Amino acid sequence: MATSPDNKLHELLEEFGTAMLATRTPEGQLRARPMGLAEVEQDGTLWFLTSKSSAKVDELARDGHAAVTMQSKTKFVSVSGTATPVEDRARVARLWKIEWKAWFPGGKDDPDLVLLRFNADTGEYWDNSGTSGIKYLIEAGKALLTGTRPEVGDDPKVHAKVTL
């Protein structure tokens, strides 16, 4: 049974533990920083933990639009949407990982800790793993030899744009 692009996007999102979160600075510049993923929901909602006093919280208060990107050697994901700080100590307790204590010395009850909820509106992925990667390499090689562009097609197992 074929996997829908929505499900494929979700599967790929769950493979990553770290993402780059991009926000807009007060000067209008885009700024990205690495963030540990705390949770991925089926609808594409992503959860992060952050510091209430961080610049990203101030940036999101001015403009909630954000983008999240992830990549490995053969897999790439980009999602766009809005991000909002959320106070939810029960969710923090459920998601808490001991390694986060390095960032939040007070642990899951650290007063500076806040959740960041990213609501994805759109997403796009590229998956060149397995046989898809081999097919891509063959097409890229043919293109190099013939001076043309690779014909990679529109296979939703490899690439799709998703509205969430």
Residues 93-125 pLDDT 10s: 999 999 999 999 999 999 999 999 999 999 999
Question: Cα-flanking dihedrals φ and ψ of residue 127, to 5°?
Answer: -130, 100
- When comparing pLDDT for 53 and 2, which is higher? 53
**All structural domains of the chain with their residue ranges:** 5-128+158-163
In whole angstroms, what is the distance from residue 163 CA to residue 56 CA? 25
What's the whole-number mean pLDDT along residues 74-96? Answer: 98
Q: Say what the pLDDT of residue 125 is.
A: 96
Beta strand residue intervals within 25-158, DSSP E: 30-40, 46-51, 65-71, 75-86, 113-127
Q: What is the pLDDT of residues 25-40, one digit of tens each?
A: 999 999 999 999 999 9
Token couple for 65: 């639009």
Token couple for 75: 């897999």
The correct answer on CATH 2.40.40.20 for the domain covering 5-128+158-163 is: no
Token couple for 54: 């961080």
Q: Say what the pLDDT of residue 153 is.
A: 67
Give the chain's mean pLDDT: 92
Hey, what long-range contacts does 24-32 have (CB within 8 A, 24 or more apart)? 24/59, 24/62, 24/63, 24/65, 25/55, 25/59, 26/58, 26/59, 26/62, 31/55, 31/56, 31/59, 32/67, 32/69
What's the whole-number mean pLDDT along residues 125-147? Answer: 78
Q: Say what the pLDDT of residue 38 is.
A: 98
Written as one string, the DSSP assignment of 4-41 is PHHHHHHHHHHH-SEEEEEEE-TTS-EEEEEEEEEEE-
Q: Say what the pLDDT of residue 7 is.
A: 94
pLDDT surpasses 60 at 163: yes
Q: Helix or strand or coil: residue 1?
A: coil
Q: Say what the pLDDT of residue 133 is.
A: 65
